Structure 1
């Protein structure tokens, strides 16, 4: 089974994916963004755009996820924002056509909720503490510029199942995904402080500067 976790940038995809990984024995994360940034870095700076526009990215994601789903004995988790219906059909749709059990979920939240999460996550919070300014990495600024487009597109029926996360924790969102997919997670037993520290570490590991 593939759990594809969609949503706006800063919408909680990565945190939810790692919560599922932590509590779902045998699961793995296969992040399509890694392939995208690798392809992007191969290009001269002047040619670097949205890597999802590259046919090689879309084809490569399907090939790698097909391999993981065929050879790995466990659930595969792919956290990735896809808002273009054509690209969605060429990735999620193609994997379904090849016979894989793909469960797609879009994490949604109100605009102010996502903006708050972007301000608070990862290095942006550290930079704000040190400089006293609303300093965020370039990747986060790009996410803010794309936010309205993402929220508008991802509300469309083709990107269901929709899960609103304004008033749910990461653990609760993971529980909802597992229940809808017919999976059983280990109980969430850690305390609030340990949860915050672990999630902060996940956020720092996934900061992008390019």
Structure 2
């Protein structure tokens, strides 16, 4: 089983994942962004992209890696905290998990209102995410997230994290599984 935590930057995916992993015995966390970093080292110079999700190999390798991890670990649950705001990319991932043998995917979107997102991003002090470039990149995704929200609502369980602590969000997700 896969538990996919979607939502834009600042919605609480990372913190919720830590809490959720503690609630789901035998769970593993798969950071699909690491696949993007691997591909960036191989493809970036000759295949430019604004986001590594644009590369088809990212999507197919995420599916293949998740399937391999599930087989190796005995079935999960495998928690994947990863923003996916392009419907075609989500469809490709979902279809990859649906092929035989199908892997059940529980897709949750952690939703936070745009003002709170901007505040959280601007208040972030983590070295890797608080540089001016990283901050601006994250802020720019609020508009993309807002545009994606209508289709995300049809594909996932949307949980409001604006005023709900990550531990409570994790308990809600665990209860729905």
Matched, 1:97 2:104: no
User: Residue 27 of structure 2 contacts residue 79 of structure 2 at CA under 8 Å; is this kept in 1?
Assistant: yes
Of 84, 88, 91 in structure 1, the residue corresponding to residue 90 of structure 2 is: 88
Given that 2:7 and 2:82 are in contact with CA atoms closer than 8 Å, whether structure 1 keeps it comes out as: yes
Regions of 4+ moved over 3 Å: none
- Rounded Cα–Cα distance in structure 1 between residues aligned with 2:53 and 2:24: 29
Bigger Cα Rg: 1
Contact 1:106/1:154 (8 A) holds in 2: no
In structure 2, runs of 5+ residues without a counterpart are none
Residue 2 of structure 1 is matched in structure 2 by: 2
Q: Deviations over 1:109-134 (max 9, x none)?
A: 1001111111222337xxxxxxxxxx
Q: How far is 1:37 from its partner?
A: 1.7
Deviations 1:31-57 (A, max 9, x none): 111101221133229835211110110
Deviation of 1:71 (Å): 2.6
Q: RMSD of the TM alignment (CA)?
A: 2.1
- Could you tell me which runs of 5 or more consecutive residues in structure 1 were left unpaired when the two chains were aligned: 125-134, 182-210
Equivalences for residues 14-163 of structure 1 within 5 A: 14-42=14-42, 43-44=44-45, 47-73=48-74, 74-98=76-100, 99-123=102-126, 136-156=131-151, 157-163=153-159
CA–CA distance in 2 between the matches of 1:142 and 1:45?
22
Q: Is the 8 A contact 2:84 2:90 kept in 1?
A: yes
